[in-house]
């Protein structure tokens, strides 16, 4: 795709063109630090050992509020042709993880699955992005050209609508908005409200959430002069699910790390990986197909070190010809998880992407 977009409720960055490309965070951090480029945009992969897809754009436009596309075009017909793993195998994987988690060797592991969607005519990133942003009450959306990650990624794009903020840095201020702990939405307003309140009081979900806030505190504390992590999460809703969320705010020590360095330090949080980090990453590498850029981060960093990075969830990778999309969803598994409920959670989360493609969940 030509260009990059990160649309959030409060602000949007849209860029075009490419004057340089980086497949490692180090190379991009160096280019910014040396003043060679004023801005880097792109995506970090889920697995920190995989190549990144970072671009120094030619033009950039910051606007207030979410992106307002000129039009929201209809998309070609598309359908699911493959599920990896199959729903039955996802149940088996989650049950096996629950047994391991009960032994106490790991605290939490995020299990993910993907669906392959094939379209009758090319699905282009910008029209899909327009639909995702238009359908999200928060106006969240991201679109990234993955070509900088190497020959395997040429022409591929990552497109999604993420409610989760990995971090935002403005000067010495850093904010995060981690999510973890999920419940379904209901058509009936009273049942929907009750489900949300039940989530806010659920010991299992609060523990799942605390793995994430504990890790963010552990990473940010040494970097911050002051750091506020509220004791209890709040409830947020997307059209598909309820989540537990915690607004984190810190004042970074001088000299403050850049937004890109902070993204590298924080990623992958237990919202997408698990606790302890290395054990969870090893478990995911051993059991799952490669996640690519799903579960990574999408965002930008300027030469002042300011920037915004969203957690790359509720997204799909689109093939260069636009005829194939792979969408992913996952959920945190803890010792008390029920495989059937976890499968249903991933189906609800896939609804963000599949709904934008008019594919019923």
CB of 86 to ligand ISJ, least distance (A): 18
Catalytic residue (choose from 58, 105, 164, 168): 164
Please state, in angstroms and rounded to a whole number, the distance separating the CA atoms of residues 111 and 32: 35
164 is catalytic: yes
| 6 vs 271 by CB, closer to ligand ISJ | 271
| 39 vs 117 by CB, closer to ligand ISJ | 117
CB of 321 to ligand ISJ, least distance (A): 25
Catalytic residue (choose from 61, 82, 105, 108): 108
Residues that bind ligand ISJ (CB under 6 A): 110, 164, 179-182, 243, 271-272, 313-314, 329-332, 349
| 143 vs 331 by CB, closer to ligand ISJ | 331
CB of 280 to ligand ISJ, least distance (A): 12
CB of 179 to ligand ISJ, least distance (A): 4
349 is catalytic: no
| 110 vs 115 by CB, closer to ligand ISJ | 110
CB of 164 to ligand ISJ, least distance (A): 5
| 167 vs 179 by CB, closer to ligand ISJ | 179
As annotated, the active-site residues are 108, 164
């Amino acid at each position: 795709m030509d260009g990059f977009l990160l649309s959030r409720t409060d602000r949007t960055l849209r860029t075009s063109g490419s004057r340089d490309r980086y497949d490692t965070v180090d190379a991009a951090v160096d280019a910014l630090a040396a003043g060679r480029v004023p801005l880097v945009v792109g995506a970090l992969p889920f697995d920190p050992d995989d190549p990144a897809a970072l671009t120094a754009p030619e033009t950039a436009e910051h606007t207030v509020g979410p992106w307002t596309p000129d039009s929201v075009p209809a998309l070609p017909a598309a359908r699911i042709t493959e599920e990896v793993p199959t729903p039955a195998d996802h149940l088996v994987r989650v049950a096996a993880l629950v047994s391991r988690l009960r032994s106490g060797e790991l605290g939490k592991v995020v299990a993910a699955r993907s669906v392959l969607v094939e379209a009758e005519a090319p699905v282009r990133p910008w029209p899909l992005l327009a639909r995702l942003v238009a359908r999200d009450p928060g106006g969240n959306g991201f679109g990234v050209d993955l070509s900088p990650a190497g020959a395997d990624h040429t022409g591929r794009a990552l497109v999604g609508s993420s409610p989760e903020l990995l971090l935002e840095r403005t000067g010495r201020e850093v904010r995060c908005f981690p999510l973890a702990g999920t419940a379904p939405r209901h058509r009936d307003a009273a049942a929907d409200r009750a489900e949300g309140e039940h989530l806010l009081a659920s010991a299992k979900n609060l523990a799942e959430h605390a793995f994430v806030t504990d890790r963010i505190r552990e990473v940010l504390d040494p970097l911050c002069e002051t750091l506020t992590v509220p004791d209890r999460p709040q409830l947020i809703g997307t059209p598909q699910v309820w989540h537990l969320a915690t607004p984190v705010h810190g004042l970074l020590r001088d000299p403050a790390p850049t937004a890109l360095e902070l993204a590298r330090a924080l990623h992958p949080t237990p919202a997408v990986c698990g606790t302890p980090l290395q054990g969870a990453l090893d478990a995911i590498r051993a059991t799952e197909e490669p996640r690519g850029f799903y579960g990574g981060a999408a965002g930008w960093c300027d030469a002042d070190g300011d920037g915004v990075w969203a957690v790359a969830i509720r997204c799909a990778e689109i093939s260069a010809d636009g005829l194939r999309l792979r969408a992913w969803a996952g959920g945190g598994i803890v010792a008390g998880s029920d495989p059937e409920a976890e499968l249903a959670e991933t189906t609800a989360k896939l609804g963000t992407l599949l709904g934008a493609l008019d594919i019923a969940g």
